[in-house]
C-alpha cells in the first residue's frame, strides 16, 4: 500500500488535536492554554537541537513531531478563540517564503548567500514599515534592533543584537579588536571585585561579567561559531568528565565528598587523556 500524501498525514494530526480538545476529549489537553504550553514548547525546541547535535536521526524525527504538535496545538487554541487557524499559519509562512525569495519566485537575481540575506533583510524591513503604516502606528525609523524577542536564550539574543549592529557598520575592524575589548572587560571586572569589600557593589560585578559574556559572543560571531552550541558542547564535556571522576572514585569505594581536590584533579586529567 502506497504511503499517504504528506497533506493527508498533516490533516490527520490536525483532526486528532481537534478531538483531544473537544468535549469528551482528553482532560489534560482541554485544560491547556497558550501560557501553560510555553515552557513545553521551549523544551521541545531544545530537544530538537539536542537530537541534531547528537546526530540522533530517529530521535530527531520524533522530536520534530513533538514540535509540530505544539504548532498545531497553539493554532487550535487560537482557532477556538476565533483568532486564526492552522490553515492561516500554513498560508502565512508559504506567502512569506515566496515574498522573501524573489530570486526564486520572482525576477530578481542572487548569486550567493550574502545577497540572499541582504535581500531578505531589506524585504523584512519594508514589510515592517508597511505594517506600521497599515496599523496607523508611528512611521518613524525605529531601531535596527526592533523585533528581537526579549525571551530568546541570552547568548542567542546577544548574538542577534550584535549581528544587527554589524549590519549598520557598528563593529570592530578585526578580531584583534574584540580580544582587546575582552581584556578591557576582564580588567574592569577585576577592578569591580577589588572595590567589592570597600563599598559593596555586586550589581557592578554582575554588569562586568555580563559585558565579558557579550564580548565572548562577539568573538564567537567573528569566528563563525554559535555561542549556544559552543556552551552546550562544553556543558556536555564537563558532565562527561565529571561523571568519569565519580565512577573512578566509586570503583575505589569512595565518593566525591570523601576525595581530595588533588585526587579529583588527577582523575579529571585521566578522563581528558582518554578522550584525546
Is there a domain that residue 145 lies in? Answer: no
Q: Lowest mean pLDDT: which of 20-24, 80-84, 136-140, 186-190? A: 136-140
Is there a domain that residue 194 lies in? Answer: yes
Give mean pLDDT, residues 182-189: 96
Task: Say whether 253 sits in a helix, a strand or coil.
Answer: coil
Give mean pLDDT, residues 22-37: 97
Is there a domain that residue 87 lies in? Answer: yes
pTM score, whole prediction: 0.70
Share of the chain above pLDDT 70, in %: 95
- Residue 187 sits in the same domain as residue 249: no
pLDDT value at 87 more than 60: yes
pLDDT value at 200 more than 60: no
- Residue 221 sits in the same domain as residue 233: no
Give residue 214's pLDDT: 97
- Residue 122 sits in the same domain as residue 175: no
pLDDT-derived band at 129 (thresholds 50, 70, 90) equals confident
- Residue 43 sits in the same domain as residue 84: yes
Task: Say whether 205 sits in a helix, a strand or coil.
Answer: helix
Give residue 152's pLDDT: 87
Q: Lowest mean pLDDT: which of 18-27, 64-73, 200-209, 231-240? A: 200-209
pLDDT value at 139 more than 70: no
- Residue 243: exposure state from Cβ atoms within 10 A (0-12, 13-18, ≥19): exposed
pLDDT value at 142 more than 80: no
C-alpha cell, 156: 542567542
Give mean pLDDT, residues 185-212: 85
Give residue 203's pLDDT: 85
Give mean pLDDT, residues 120-128: 86
Give mean pLDDT, residues 68-90: 98
- Residue 204 sits in the same domain as residue 256: no
Q: Residue 55: which residues within 8 A CB-CB, separation 6 or more?
A: none
Q: For residue 183, give the nearest of 212, 221, 155 by alpha carbon.
A: 212
pLDDT value at 215 more than 90: yes
Q: Residue 271: which residues within 8 A CB-CB, separation 6 or more?
A: 240, 241, 244, 245, 248
Q: 256 or 195: whose pLDDT is higher?
A: 256
* Structural domains in the chain (count): 4
Is there a domain that residue 146 lies in? Answer: no
C-alpha cell, 256: 566525591
- Residue 16 sits in the same domain as residue 37: yes
- Residue 115 sits in the same domain as residue 198: no
pLDDT value at 240 more than 80: yes
Is there a domain that residue 70 lies in? Answer: yes
Could you give the CA distance from residue 210 to residue 105 in angstroms, rounded to a whole number?
Answer: 43
Is there a domain that residue 147 lies in? Answer: no
Is there a domain that residue 143 lies in? Answer: no
Could you give the CA distance from residue 265 to residue 242 in angstroms, rounded to a whole number?
Answer: 10
b/e burial code for range 194-210 (CB count within 10 A of at least 16 → b) = eeeeeeeeeebeeebee
Could you give the CA distance from residue 224 to residue 159 in angstroms, rounded to a whole number?
Answer: 11
pLDDT value at 223 more than 60: yes
pLDDT-derived band at 134 (thresholds 50, 70, 90) equals confident
Ramachandran angles phi, psi of 255, nearest 5°:
-120, 170
Give residue 117's pLDDT: 87
Give mean pLDDT, residues 18-38: 97
- Residue 235 sits in the same domain as residue 219: no
Q: For residue 45, give the nearest of 62, 67, 68, 61 by alpha carbon.
A: 67
Give residue 1's pLDDT: 44
Q: Residue 110: which residues within 8 A CB-CB, separation 6 or more?
A: 103, 116, 119
Answer whether 128's CB lies under 8 Å from 152's CB.
no
Geometric angle at alpha carbon 266, from 274 and 245, rounded to 5° = 65
Task: Tell how far CA 75 is from the center of its chain.
Answer: 22
- Residue 173 sits in the same domain as residue 205: yes
- Residue 94 sits in the same domain as residue 28: yes
Q: Which residues form the domain of 201?
A: 154-225
- Residue 95 sits in the same domain as residue 108: no
CA distances from 30 to 15, 27, 71, 139 (A): 15, 5, 16, 41
- Residue 247 sits in the same domain as residue 271: yes
Is there a domain that residue 90 lies in? Answer: yes
Q: For all residues of the chain together, what is the average pLDDT? A: 91
C-alpha cell, 229: 552550541
Ramachandran angles phi, psi of 103, nearest 5°:
-75, -15
Give mean pLDDT, residues 252-276: 93
Q: What is the CATH number of the domain that holds 63?
A: 1.10.287.1080
Share of the chain above pLDDT 90, in %: 74
> Which residue matches cell numbers 478531538?
19
Amino acid at each position: 500500500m502506497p504511503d499517504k500524501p504528506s497533506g493527508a498525514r498533516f490533516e490527520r494530526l490536525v483532526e486528532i488535536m481537534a478531538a483531544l480538545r473537544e468535549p469528551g476529549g482528553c482532560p489534560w489537553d482541554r485544560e491547556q492554554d497558550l501560557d501553560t504550553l510555553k515552557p513545553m514548547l521551549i523544551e521541545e525546541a531544545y530537544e530538537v537541537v539536542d537530537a541534531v547535535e547528537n546526530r540522533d536521526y530517529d530521535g530527531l524525527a520524533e522530536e520534530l513531531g513533538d514540535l509540530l504538535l505544539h504548532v498545531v496545538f497553539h493554532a487550535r487554541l487560537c482557532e477556538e478563540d476565533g483568532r486564526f487557524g492552522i490553515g492561516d499559519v500554513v498560508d502565512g509562512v508559504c506567502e512569506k517564503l515566496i515574498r522573501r525569495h524573489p530570486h526564486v519566485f520572482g525576477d530578481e537575481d542572487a548569486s550567493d548567500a550574502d545577497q540572499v540575506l541582504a535581500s531578505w533583510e531589506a524585504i523584512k524591513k519594508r514589510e515592517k514599515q508597511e505594517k506600521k503604516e497599515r496599523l496607523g502606528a508611528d512611521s518613524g525609523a525605529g531601531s535596527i534592533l526592533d523585533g528581537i524577542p526579549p525571551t530568546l536564550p541570552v547568548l542567542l539574543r546577544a548574538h542577534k543584537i550584535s549581528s544587527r549592529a554589524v549590519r549598520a557598520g557598528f563593529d570592530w575592524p578585526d578580531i584583534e579588536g574584540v580580544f582587546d575589548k575582552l581584556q578591557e572587560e576582564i580588567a574592569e571586572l577585576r577592578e569591580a571585585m577589588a572595590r567589592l569589600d570597600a563599598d559593596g557593589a555586586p550589581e557592578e560585578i554582575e554588569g562586568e561579567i555580563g559585558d565579558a559574556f557579550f564580548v565572548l559572543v562577539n568573538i564567537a560571531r567573528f569566528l563563525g561559531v554559535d555561542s549556544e552550541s559552543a556552551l552546550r558542547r562544553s556543558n556536555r564535556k564537563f558532565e562527561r568528565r565529571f561523571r568519569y571522576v565519580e565512577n573512578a572514585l566509586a570503583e575505589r569505594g569512595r565518593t566525591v565528598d570523601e576525595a581530595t581536590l588533588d585526587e579529583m584533579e588527577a582523575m579529571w586529567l585521566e578522563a581528558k587523556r582518554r578522550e584525546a
